[in-house]
Amino acid sequence: MTAELTFLGATGTVTGSKYLLRSGAAGLLVDCGLFQGPKALRLRNWAPPPVKPKDVDAVVLTHAHLDHSGYLPRFMREGFRGPVHSSPGTRDVCAILLPDSGHLQEEEARYANKRGFSKHKPALPLYTEDEARLSLKRFAPIAFNKEAMVAGKFQLTLEPAGHILGASIVTLHSEGMKVVFSGDLGRMRDPIMYPPSRIDEADYLIVESTYGNRRHADVDPEEELRGHLGRAIARNGVVVIPAFAIGRAQTLLYLISRLRARRLIPGVPIYLNSPMAINATRLYHEYMAEHRLSDEECEAAHSVAQMVNSADESRALNARGGPMIIVAGSGMATGGRVLHQLKAFAPDARNMIVLPGFQAAGTRGAALASGAPEIKIHGEYVPVRAEVVKMDSMSAHADYTEILEWLRGFKRPPRHTFVTHGEPSAADEMRRRIEETLGWAVSVPEYGEKAALR
């Protein structure tokens, strides 16, 4: 077989994941993600699709995070009519994430038009909540470790990647060739998720490199979180935690529930200000086989915080004083309710902003992590006087040592390994380590690059 792989995202960036695999007349798109971060990347979301939708027979999603699934409603608006394959967990998480994404885009367009800070007249959403809900009808989930024929050409198997609920390592067989997409690999020793499944062989491998140039500190995240929360609470501060609604929010609630049960933090009010995260937390009861928590631990994490359901309740938090803890959606502070919380609490030095995950270049989270004295929100510059702390110990991504540990599970080197889903320095460092440590043939593809697979 001769196939062609085209890299349409997650090159030079950790967002916009899209890979087009063609074999004969069959076309399969692995991931259909949104670009996030700098404007130059975000504009790609508005450009014509990088591949004609009619040339794609099916989509396979590695997992539900928007940088892997969030372009799907737009792709369907542009004409895609094929099935979307994923694990059942990814389907259920997308049922939360995608409509919320459409709703937020509509809200932000309305707010921009009301306040007049957009250059576009009128500002429009990339897609609507209704379009996102419509896209869910295309899902055709496939259970883990079950073989299925997709796009009439490829034999697909999904195996747990350990990153979030439903996250998958994608294996595709066709005419004797095996192509593996790592998706986002989870941690080997995560507090909640199991480690990624072992893969023993591939002809071609596409592996992520989010933390390809970094090693997570050997720190107990629970103890680290206790120190940060205790410091802010002692000065009557408000702790704002922008957290990915799927994965990080639940890990935070679990760790906070343990700290509260052991009386290691004071009994201050705790709020989960993300309808998306509220709904996602319930899924942990439905997918017990995919994580380490018991029913009792799931319930403790779910009940430790007061759920903030309405926009009015969210706005009311901004008028409250500390001490309190607010866990809000949008892990890189790119949108949603957390922006209003940052506007309210970032200017006060008593307060704290905790960043518990990766912050892509060009996002507000990255600006906060780099010590920016101000950040732009809704067309206005907001001073940052609050203490900002970054917790890499909370990351849901394997670091370079864990990626290498996973790669050592292969019985033989792939014919070629492509390193993607990393900022340029991280991807190149991961390439170098694979080349020097394992002796594999490896490269970092560029946007739009095509590779012949033989």
- pLDDT for 131-142, tens place per residue? 999 999 999 999
- CA 80 – CA 56 distance, rounded (Å): 7
Q: What are phi and psi of 344, to 5 degrees?
A: -75, -35
Burial class of residue 381, CB neighbours in 10 A (0-12, 13-18, 19+)? exposed
- pLDDT for 383-407, tens place per residue? 999 999 999 888 889 999 999 999 9
The pair of structure tokens assigned to 126 is 């990339």
Supply the Cα-derived Rg of the chain in whole angstroms.
21
Alpha-carbon distances of 225 from 74, 353, 357, 368, rounded to whole Å? 38, 12, 13, 18
Report the run of H or E that residue 26 belongs to, with start and end: strand 26-30
Which residue(s) pair with 306 in the sheet?
A: 271
* List of domains in the chain: 3-214+396-453 (3.60.15.10), 221-394 (3.40.50.10890)
pLDDT in tens, the chain (454 residues): 689 999 999 999 999 999 999 998 999 999 999 999 888 999 999 999 999 999 999 999 999 999 999 999 999 999 999 999 999 999 999 999 999 899 888 988 887 788 766 666 788 999 999 999 999 999 999 999 999 999 999 999 999 999 999 999 999 998 889 999 999 999 999 999 999 999 999 999 999 999 999 999 888 999 999 999 999 999 999 999 998 888 888 999 999 999 999 999 999 999 999 887 888 888 998 999 999 999 999 989 889 999 998 888 988 999 888 899 999 987 788 887 899 999 999 999 999 999 987 888 888 999 999 999 999 998 899 999 999 999 988 888 999 999 999 999 999 999 999 999 999 999 999 999 999 999 999 999 999 999 999 8
User: Cα 337 from chain centroid?
Assistant: 18
- CA 398 – CA 433 distance, rounded (Å): 15
The pair of structure tokens assigned to 220 is 């107990």
